[in-house]
Chain A
Amino acid sequence: MTDASHTVEELFHRYAPVLFDRCVRILRDRADAEDAVQETFVLAHRHLGSFRYGDSYLPWLYRIASRVCFKVLRTRQRKGFTLDGRTDAAPAPAPRPGEALDAQRQLVLLAQSVDERTFQILVGAYLDGMTQDEIADHLGISRRAVVKRLTQFRARFGVAKEGSDA
């Protein structure tokens, strides 16, 4: 799907399931993910007129979904997640063996202390397995900006490089 004449209904039926997968991966909660998909399409509906991407709607919707998930994660601070790693409430489910183990948990904890752009970069690097070039391309920013934010992030939180297996 490449041209901008598609209706929200067409986009929903084609992409909502894959956005649900995307939001589940970030939020680790299926009900929250369903709500996040709804919100993604409300925003997409509002901004459909400004859609400019020639390749596919999916990367665009992916970015919107990430922004929505970022907001949801931030609200979870009140649910008991704290930045020192202590949790008062039930923690996010453990990641599958073999996955970059820090990713899920640290996204929840760190979404509260990084800005949205850095969050999108972190999701690309740690959760989506994107290279720095792919992140830059996906977010429409320079590779240098990606490297800078990842470096700052690792220095601040002492996180291993993305892609290094635990």
Chain B
Amino acid sequence: MPNCPNHLRLSQWALGEAAPDEHRSLAAHVQGCSRCAAELADIQHNLADYQSHAAREWQRLQARLAGPTAPIGWQRWRLPVLSVASVAVAASLAVILLPNPTTVVAPEVRFKGAVSLQVVAERGVEQFEVKANASLHAGDALRLVLAAGTPGQFGAVLVDAMQARTWLYPDPARAPRAPLQLSAAGTQPLADSFVLDASQGAERLIWLFCEPAVAGAELLRALESDIALAQFLQGAAAEQCHHGVLPFTKVVP
């Protein structure tokens, strides 16, 4: 039928935002047009569906808006879960962060206690591994893939050029505050990706993985400053932990 209102106009009308004369003409049109009537029914179905859990979605949004996201240069972005094939591709990339800087462990080599973290960047449709001292662009999305030979707990922070820290894991917007728990050994992509903003300069991603016996609070404290990490690594708990540092530079392409 010609002169069907577009979807935006129909949506505005469904919200009661149409002007009175437009309201009358749209009402008349929808009455006589089965296609628009069906489209309107679709809209109303989706509105009702969302409204049934809008309160929960608002809470989720509030938590995100309260998190230390934009000012520091990272934005948490929950992307669709990686498919099995993508994980296989990611896992086949070389290890870039190592439990011990002098030891190279290929991700296929699994033995008890081995832990490695891989950082995969997505730029447009490209996906590539982030190597040490890489140049990254605003808009690049990073995701972390952890390979661990044991269950354990994990934390990671980003330290920018001004030495400001942003927690990547655990998500600072979530309570209670505890390291990310990994209940099984194996290679797994971690939930959430992080989209780079346009600030520039040298940054570091620092991570720490500990076996379950280590206190979670101690793990988190170690990531609060470089001094705290150095002290932690000299203590007894460090024998049950692995850590890594990935330096990179953010540039405007």
Contacts and interface: CB of A to CB of B under 8 A. Distances in A.
Interface of A: 1, 8-9, 12-18, 20-22, 24-25, 30, 32, 34-35, 37-39, 41-42, 45-46, 56, 58-59, 62, 72, 74-80, 88-89, 96, 98, 112, 124, 127-131, 134, 138
Contacts of B47: 17-18, 20-21
A100 B217 CA distance: 56
Contact of B6 (A18, A42, A112, A129): A129
26 contacts: A9-B58, A12-B54, A12-B58, A13-B58, A16-B54, A17-B50, A17-B51, A17-B54, A18-B14, A18-B43, A18-B47, A20-B47, A20-B50, A25-B7, A32-B80, A42-B65, A42-B69, A45-B65, A56-B17, A58-B11, A72-B80, A75-B79, A75-B122, A78-B82, A78-B86, A128-B7
A15 to B, nearest CB: 8
Given A8-B65, A58-B11, A75-B122, 12 more contacts: A14-B15, A16-B58, A24-B46, A32-B80, A37-B57, A42-B69, A59-B8, A72-B80, A76-B80, A78-B83, A80-B83, A89-B83
B85 interface: yes
Contacts of A35: 78
Interface string B31-47: 00001001000110011
Contacts of B125: 74, 77, 112
Contacts of B51: 17
B70 interface: yes
A65 to B, nearest CB: 11
8 closest Cβ pairs, A-B complex: A21-B46, A128-B7, A20-B50, A17-B50, A17-B47, A130-B6, A129-B6, A78-B86
Contact of B77 (A17, A39, A76, A79): A39
Interface of chain A: mostly helix, strand, loop or mixed: helix
Given A25-B7, A79-B80, A112-B125, A58 B17 contact: yes
Contacts of B54: 12-13, 16-17
B86 A18 contact: no
B65 A128 contact: no
Contacts of A30: 49
Interface residues of B, number: 41
Nearest to A130: B6
Contacts of B38: 96, 98
Interface of B: 4-8, 11-12, 14-15, 17, 35, 38, 42-43, 46-47, 49-51, 54, 57-58, 60-61, 64-65, 69-70, 75, 77-80, 82-83, 85-86, 122, 124-125, 127
Contacts of B11: 18, 21-22, 58
B60 A38 contact: yes
Given A25-B7, A128-B6, A17 B46 contact: yes
A76 B8 CA distance: 25
A16 B50 CA distance: 8
Q: In the complex, which of the residues A9, A79, A80, A129 has the most CB atoms of chain B within 10 Å of its own CB atom?
A: A129
A46 B5 CA distance: 31
Q: In the complex, which of the residues B42, B69, B75, B80 has the most CB atoms of chain A within 10 Å of its own CB atom?
A: B80
A79 B83 contact: yes
Nearest to B34: A98
A46 B64 contact: no
B70 to A, nearest CB: 6
Nearest to B87: A78
A118 B61 CA distance: 29
Contacts of A41: 61, 65
A107 to B, nearest CB: 13
B7 A129 contact: yes
A74 B8 contact: no
B142 to A, nearest CB: 13
Q: In the complex, which of the residues A21, A74, A138 has the most CB atoms of chain B within 10 Å of its own CB atom?
A: A21
